[in-house]
Structure 1
Amino acid sequence: MQPSDTASRVAALNARYRHHSASDVLRAALNDPEAGDLALVSSFGAESVVLLHMVALARRETPVIFIDTQMLFAETLTYQQELAERLDLRDMRIIRADAADLAARDPDGALHRTAPDACCTLRKTAPLQRALQGFDGWITGRKRYQGQTRASLAFFEAEPGTGRIKVNPLAHWAPEDIRTYMEENRLPRHPLVARGYPSIGCMPCTSRVGNGEDPRAGRWRGQDKTECGIHFVNGKIVRQGENA
């Protein structure tokens, strides 16, 4: 689909499903021709199991894209394998950076120390953009409470310049909704959560969070950086309004 069509698709979808629940929005998106062919992009992080479980219930054959940056915690890799098997996810797609690109741009694996944005682009953003080619949109686990840049997040939003949409079924959920869903469905937590990691990314760029700190305080601690970049356009965070 052409980028010019994206705004009308998003407006129609938001109008149609504005008052639906998260699971209904997800199920509808996977079956509504207006949404097109979708993939779920999951980090298999601290809260990922909720959306993965919803997708497994709605359509197990939904493509699930997992970006292995090759700098993840061993616990994340194990958790990904265990969840994929437990939930019977039938189209897991594990993607990585191009080997030649890694050798040319980060031969010693130290790029995250000197240029963290460039490292994220190399290991996350570029591989994801390749993996999303051919899809009309992708499903994310973003929520309004996760920061000011996401405060007006809608269920459906346009991804500028690509013609794709992003679907955010959990946009209106609060932290207690996440906890309740996990408990009621007896879903396994990421093992690092109990060890003080409420938000989990790459091992070199994630630290424990202390009592009273923001859950994302351990991501890129001490740096002027809060996002990995997969939700950026031209290097800037995309802020979408309610009716985007």
Structure 2
Amino acid sequence: MGRRQVLMPMLPGMPDAVAGRPAKAHARPPLRTLEQAIARSRDIIAEALERYPIVARQALVSGGNDSSVLLHLVRDYLDSSPHDAVVHVNTGIGIDDTRQHVRDLTAAWNLPLRELHPRDSYEDLILGQVIARTGPNAGIRSVWKGFPGPGGHGVMYRRLKNEPLQRNRAAIIGTHGRSQKVLYLAGMRWGESDRRFRNAAEIDPDGGIIWCSPLVHWTNEQMRQYRELHLIPRNPVAEHLHMSGECLCGAYAKPGELDEIEFFYPRTAYRIRSLEKKVEAAGMPACKWGQAPPGGKQPKPGSVPGRLCSSCPAPLADQQMDLMDLWAQSGLLTPTTTPAPALVPVPIPEVAA
């Protein structure tokens, strides 16, 4: 049967004030048609498969709408070995609705799902309970204390996202990284918008992992066309928050972001506010989610430490508006009324009788 469109409420999200896009985003003229974009994507994947001894193909899905397009495009590549799968990193500090969206999507498309979890929890990290295992501080010092702020984004990325992906790679190829490779298909794009900073390569070798971004050259219009053509189900979390919400470490949170999360997902916000109380009770100065620790180091504007955190740009502080102020100026919030959400079409599969 076909699919129908229903209307889901949506409020405008907070735009990012960030510095530019990578120069290589402009290196190749934009492809003129969706068919050409799809053909180029398949050429990129074919090149990766020809150049490297790939023993497992895995599509990395965050739950965002870009990653859903990626999954639909590459789903036919995930049947060459028992290790082929859809991979979702459950950071443990995200919105549960996004996890469920990924589970529902993979089940509907009959694709195997591997849900990875970090060895160290976000709560343990911010409470200073994770002790360094290697290096000069091994067994002596905590790797982090308090909420991260921009200066701690690299730590959070390595512990919450990269570590489970590396462990997943090791479980497949062990120490045979020279003769065997895991292909990670990811949905990064060069030009998602003028306010997003994407730093990705078509094919990027990294030891036993080959990162492949087959959508890297796609424009927003091509993404829209593909979603409409194939009626790709949208994640309501991404529609509401304009991000997948799979990781809320808070390192690059915008002013008012926790209020926005609370508006749509109060249980998630309650958990974060509960963590704030625990961190404050532990006597740590960095006790506010989404705020830079006192005296904390600030990364360069636009820097993105981590391939899978391309939607975490460093904001330009003097240009970033508070979300609630934005809603108020748009007439969506008044002292006596609640926001009037816009209506956004979201494709929902028909259920067979």
TM-score by length of 2: 0.47
Contact between 1:60 and 1:88, CA under 8 Å: does it hold in 2? no
1:129 and 2:166 aligned: yes
Distance 1:158 1:188 in 2: 31
Q: Does structure 1 residue 76 correspond to structure 2 residue 95? A: no
One-letter code of the match for 1:124?
A: K
Instruction: State the Cα deviation string for residues 112-159 of structure 1 (Å, max 9, x = none).
Output: 446343222221121111112224332111111145553xx5422222
Deviation of 1:103 (Å): 7.5
Which protein, 1 or 2, shows the higher relative CO under an 8 Å CA cutoff with sep ≥ 6? 2
Please tell me whether the aligned partners of residues 101 and 235 of structure 2 are also in contact (alpha carbons under 8 angstroms): yes
Report the equivalent of 1:54.
73
Q: Quickly say closer, same or farther: Cα 1:65–1:198, change in 2 above 3 A.
A: closer
Is 1:67–1:94's contact at 8 Å kept on the other side of the alignment? yes
CA drift of 1:191 comes to 0.5
Please give the alpha-carbon distance, in whole angstroms, between the structure 1 residues aligned to 2:53 and 2:188: 18
Asked if 1:67 corresponds to 2:100, the answer is no
Matched, 1:45 2:64: yes
Q: 2:235 aligns with which of 190, 194, 199?
A: 190
80-89 or 119-128, larger mean C-alpha shift: 119-128
- Tell me, in whole angstroms, the C-alpha distance in 2 between the residues paired with 1:56 and 1:36: 16
Closer/same/farther in 2, CA of residues 105 and 204 from structure 1, 3 Å limit: closer
Question: Residues 158, 231 of structure 1: CA spacing in aligned structure 2 closer, same or farther, 3 A cutoff?
Answer: farther
Q: Which amino acid aligns with 1:59?
A: L
Aligned structure 1 segments of 4 or more residues deviating by more than 4 angstroms: 101-104, 106-111, 146-149, 220-226
- Distance in 1 (CA, whole Å) between partners of 2:188 and 2:125 is 30
What residue is the counterpart of 2:50 in the other structure? 32
Matched, 1:171 2:216: yes
Residue identity matched to 1:95: L
The answer to whether the 8 A contact 2:117-2:164 is kept is yes
Determine if the alignment matches structure 1 residue 156 to structure 2 residue 193: no
Q: 1:175 to 1:35 in 2, by over 3 A?
A: farther
The equivalent position to 2:189 in structure 1, one of 137, 143, 146, is: 143
Larger Rg: 2
Cα distance, 1:227–1:111 mapped onto 2, change above 3 Å: farther
Deviation at 1:33, TM superposition (A): 6.5
Kept in 1, the 8 Å contact 2:58–2:78? The answer is: no
SS in 2 for 1:142: coil
Q: Between 79-88 and 37-46, report the one with greater CA deviation.
A: 37-46
AA aligned opposite 2:156: C
The residue correspondences of 1:193-232 to structure 2 (distance < 5 A) are 193-198=238-243, 200-203=245-248, 205=250, 207=257, 224=298, 227=304, 229-230=306-307
Question: Conserved in 1, the CA contact under 8 Å of 2:188 and 2:198?
Answer: no
Q: The residue matched to 2:65 in structure 1 has which SS? A: coil
Counterparts of 1:24 and 1:166, CA distance in 2: 15
Residues 3-18 of structure 1: pairs in structure 2 closer than 5 A: none
Supply the distance in 2 between the matched residues of 1:195 and 1:103 (Cα, whole angstroms): 25
Between 198-207 and 125-134, report the one with greater CA deviation.
198-207
| Structure 1 unaligned residues grouped into runs of 5+ | 1-18, 210-219, 233-244
Letter in 1 for 2:226: Y
Give, in angstroms, the shift of residue 190 of structure 1: 0.9
Cα 1:190–1:25, aligned 2, differ >3 Å: closer, same or farther? same
1:95 aligns with 2:134: no
Structure 1 residues 174, 35: closer, same or farther in 2, change over 3 A? farther
What SS does the aligned partner of 1:171 have? Answer: coil
> 1:40 touches 1:138 (CA, 8 Å); kept in 2?
yes
User: How many residue pairs are counted as aligned between the two chains?
Assistant: 198
Q: Which runs of 5+ in 2 are unaligned?
A: 1-37, 130-144, 174-180, 262-288, 293-297, 310-353
Q: How many Å separate the matches in 1 of 2:78 and 2:125?
A: 38
Percent of aligned positions that are identical:
20
User: Is the Cα contact below 8 Å between 2:169 and 2:208 reproduced in 1?
Assistant: no
Corresponding letter in the other structure for 2:117: R
